[in-house]
Amino acid sequence: MDTTTALTADVLVLGFGKGGKTAAHALTDAGKRVILIEQSEEMYGGTCPNVGCVPTKMLVHYSNSKRLEDEAQEFFANSIEGVRALTSAFRAGNLEALDGKDSATVITGRARFVDDHTVTVGEGADRITITAPTILINSGSVPIEPDIAGVSESVHRVSSTDLTRADRLPGHLVIIGGGYLGLEFASIYRHFGSQVTILEAADRLLPKEDDDIAEVATGILAGEGITIVTGARVTAVRDQDGGAAITYESAGRTTTVEADAFLAATGRRPATDGLGLEAAGVETTARGAVVVDERLRTSRPHIFALGDVTGGPQFTYVSLDDARIVLDQLLGDGTRSTADRVAVPRTLFITPPLATVGLTEREARAARLNFRVARKNVADIVAMPRAYTVEETRGVMKFILDADTDLILGAAILSIDAQEVINTVALAMRQNVTATQLKTAIYTHPSTTEAFNEVFDAIVS
């Protein structure tokens, strides 16, 4: 006898991430019957509030609050407890906010497509079949497994999730990979008191940024006691008593470093394994990303994909904009698309943070643009006393300006409050506000935006 439970919905959402939950709320409020499937009860609300943005940035705050007299292990354990309390509250709040609506249902389990309108969850007597005319895929991304001998078997390997929930502070944390994730955890754990080593395969950190910006950022990290090895190719990991021995090659030499724990921060890939997308006729790339058009429709027009699963920028705010685009297709006039995105900023949350938007100097030069560069070290910006009031004068501000129009082509801000200031710059770029207009505007005092009053006069090329 078939004991499968059969459900129907107007819209089926796979994944509780930012894009999926935002769309689910709006569609429910518009009178649609929505079912959302999330594979883990630990991920209600998505990556950001559970294992991503919220816990990591909370750890940035806690680690920067540590005093010399604080005992490292106790301070760390108390900080982790604070993170757990907040993420648990967010998780419960996200579930209640959606599942508490009359026309919304949250189902926990792994979904798999049967055809392009139907998925199943669970097995045997617990099997549920859900059918919907519209489906949104918001399954996110997962860490890339590096092809390094001994990594997958090591008991001393930690994930980024582990590092936001760990009970003990490792004496020595080795991070394989110097991307955003690796650098943020390096900065956090160094401030908590761990010895930290970064093994980066590229010739320098932050290879996508201009040399001068990367040099300042690297200097700040090294100045805090983080050991940085570039051009490092990790060849093997071997467990030993109390830790792991990590062997790498750099500059023609083979070296082994011992670690209490290590993080393989070698990137993330779209989480499409096991979804059965082939049964739905949904096309994917060689890397497993769902192929979408500029309105986020897949190869099946009634199936959309949002967030990391599309292989695009892995930012929560991009996933949010994805939801706006999909909602415009389903509830609006259908004109909004990814082509509308201009000047999307990003922030690396080291201390102080590095925020960037638009073109680098290298990119402007490669495009043969007629541009000028305005650049000044934070410590030298007289109009910005906030840096001195909070005792954080490290960093640099750099702007790429169109020499003909005075418009801002790009910016790199390595400074206190950079994650906030960059939003003003990005808005100025979208609205064609000139550098002169930013320079002559009135800002509160003391504030970091006051730097605009001075830095645009510092033309260096």
The CA-based angle 376-380-385, given to 5 degrees, is: 115
Q: Say how many C-beta atoms besides its own lie within 10 A of residue 360's C-beta.
A: 20
409 vs 95, 362, 444, CA distance in Å? 41, 12, 25
- Evaluate whether 226 touches 201 at the Cβ level (below 8 Å): no
Residues 6+ apart with CB under 8 A from 205: 178, 183, 198, 214, 217, 218, 221, 228, 230
Task: Give 34-81 as a DSSP string.
Answer: EEEEES-GGGTT-HHHHTSHHHHHHHHHHHHH--TTS-HHHHHHHHHH
Environment class of 313 (CB within 10 Å of its CB; exposed 0-12, middle 13-18, buried 19+): middle
Q: Give the burial class of 452: count Cβ atoms within 10 A of its Cβ; 0-12 exposed, 13-18 middle, 19 or more buried.
A: buried
List the one residue out of 260, 257, 256, 254 whose CA is nearest residue 241: 260
Q: Active site residue: 61, 156, 302, 445, which one?
A: 445
Decide if 172 is catalytic: no
Helix boundaries (H) for 125-283: 160-163, 180-192, 211-223, 277-280
Which residues are part of the catalytic machinery?
A: 445
